Amino acid sequence: MPVRDSLKQARRIVVKVGSAVLANGGVLDPACIDRLASDVGAWLDAHDARRAIVVTSGAVASGFRQLGLDRPPNRIAEKQAAAAVGQPRLMSQWGAAFGRQRPPRTTAQVLLTADDIDHRLRFLNARHTLERLLAAGVVPVINENDSVSCSEIKLGDNDRLSALVASLVGADALVILSSVAGLYRSGGAGGAGEVVAEVRSLKDGLKHLSAGREGRTSAVGTGGMATKLAAACEAAALGTTVVIADGEQPGVVRRLLGGEGIGTVFPAVTGGSRARAARERWIGFAARPKGRLHIDTGAARAVLDRGASLLPSGVVRVDGSFGAGALIELIDPRGTSVARGLTPYSSDEIARIRGCRASEIESRLGYRYSDEIVHRNDLALIARSTE
């Protein structure tokens, strides 16, 4: 089935809306929220089994003017304060917009941080909460908890959050709405006919990504096209079809999910989230690694091509400080991240046993938790082959 036609079959969607769409120039636009809520609501009305989640940006953009500032702040404390002011205003607008529909729809505010994703139990609790809301026909409206999560404001963006949410709930489609019409061809000026219709890999997408219009962030947003590209490829790898499109187009959600050829589509990878264990998906894509292990070529081949565990003999170097049970990233001799996994050993312990045989662990440490630095059951592959 053509990928555009497959979007017509979507029953569970995540719609991410950027600040540049909702609050152009820093002023929250209630008419825009009304239009998008109506668009999503009309799609929901067409079938009883349909469910939708909105991932919204705009808290900082909604609040900074209330602090007497004339532009989005750069200092973390001011960003957190602006988010604290703007978050209730933003959520109130979404609630009112969905509430004005006939029949009215109930929304639920869900605020997440990266720590909620990193912590396995909290990750599962978030999923259970979202599933209960969706079962009740509620539209969850999700944002990062920017008023308390310092690192997320400095470095994070809601593009990746939307990809993680799509994986969390097993969404059929992720619609990323931006101020641009999609991914433009490299060197293009953004004119008609220059949008890339379909991207099948991160490598494919990077060929088109230029330093022009695609690479810039808006005056009120945190993410450019590079972050959208990375998030789209991540969600597609987890089994969700993704579309990046212009959020200012009328009826954009219904048009995209009706198969219309607008925006840039990223087809779901066969064997994605529905074929991959939830725990492996969390290890591989959701949680953030606490350190890195550089491994030799033989170890990389064993892990990738034979599905083997990582033994201490294959570890060349340890980067970072972490405790036992931490999520770590495996780096091959080319500097490529090939896998992630949970280790029973701390960084100090691994540094002492790296390069040795499994039979030598006890003599070096005085004890032995496991023969493996990372057991195959605790590994998730990022690359799929060393070839």
Question: How would DSSP label each residue in 44-74?
Answer: HHT-TT-EEEEEE--HHHHHGGGGT-SS---
| Cα–Cα–Cα angle for 275, 273, 196, rounded to 5 degrees | 125
Domain ranges of the chain: 3-278, 289-381
- Amino acid at the residue 135: A
At residue 189, φ and ψ (nearest 5 deg) are -95, 0
The beta-carbon contacts of 342-348 under 8 Å, at least 24 apart in sequence, are 342/283, 342/374, 342/378, 343/373, 343/374, 343/378, 344/369, 344/370, 344/372, 345/369, 345/370, 345/373, 346/322, 347/291, 347/318, 347/320, 347/321, 347/322, 347/323, 348/321
Question: Is 289-381 a CATH 2.30.130.10 domain?
Answer: yes
Give the pLDDT of the chain (387 residues) as one tens digit per residue: 788 888 999 999 999 998 889 887 667 889 999 999 999 999 999 999 999 999 998 888 888 888 888 888 888 888 889 889 989 999 999 999 999 998 999 999 999 877 777 777 777 788 889 999 999 999 999 998 765 655 544 335 688 889 889 988 889 999 999 888 888 876 544 444 488 888 876 566 566 664 334 444 444 444 577 788 888 888 887 788 999 999 999 999 999 999 999 999 998 876 544 445 666 767 777 678 999 999 999 999 999 999 899 999 999 999 999 988 888 999 999 999 999 988 989 999 999 999 999 999 999 999 988 899 998 878 888 865 555
Instruction: Tell me what pLDDT residue 196 has.
Output: 84
CATH class belonging to 3-278: alpha beta
| pLDDT for 88 | 92
pLDDT for 271: 52
pLDDT of residue 31: 92
Among candidates 256, 270, 240, which has minimal Cα distance to 384? 270
- Residue 191: predicted pLDDT: 45
Alpha carbon of 62 to those of 67, 98, 157, 362, 368: distances in Å? 10, 19, 16, 58, 54
pLDDT on residue 278: 61
Q: What's the confidence (pLDDT) of residue 119?
A: 72
